[in-house]
Amino acid sequence: MKTKVLAVKPLVIILVALLFCSAATPVGAKSHAPGNTRNDADADGVKDKKDKCPATPKGVAVSADGCPLDTDKDGVPDYLDKCPRLVGTLPHERLP
């Protein structure tokens, strides 16, 4: 009976990781929108005067201060983080 339980455990871990590794843009986040880039050099929807991250890559969702989102607060922006909802030590390479 223990072998069946041990075989199911990795599957459960993988399913939970996949659930939290969704790259959906959180509600209220801004993303680059086409249009007026006057006073918004990186065209992220945040005026340069209030933009704390003035060189955000095109298409990246940003917070109200113009910086890329970091949902799990691990210091790695969501657009670079393979698991943006799970804190991990090696976010660029593999899941935690």
* Helix/strand/coil (H/E/C) assignment for every residue in the chain: CHHHHHHHHHHHHHHHHHHHCCCCCCCCCECCCCCCCCCCCCCCCCCCCCCCCCCCCCCCCECCCCCECCCCCCCCCCCCCCCCCCCCCCCCCCCC
Residue 69 lies in a domain: yes
pLDDT of residue 91: 46
Hey, what are 23's tokens?
């790259």
Residue 26 lies in a domain: no
Residue 63 lies in a domain: yes
Domain extent, residue 64, equals 34-96
Residue 86 lies in a domain: yes
Number of domains the chain is built from = 1
Residue 12 lies in a domain: no
Q: CA 64, 67, 69, 74 torsion: positive or negative?
A: negative
Residue 22 lies in a domain: no
pLDDT digit string, tens, across residues 15-73? 556 555 655 555 555 555 555 568 999 999 999 999 999 999 999 999 999 999 999 88
Residue 29 lies in a domain: no
Q: What global pTM score does this model have?
A: 0.57
Residue 45 lies in a domain: yes
**Alpha helices (H) along the chain:** 2-20
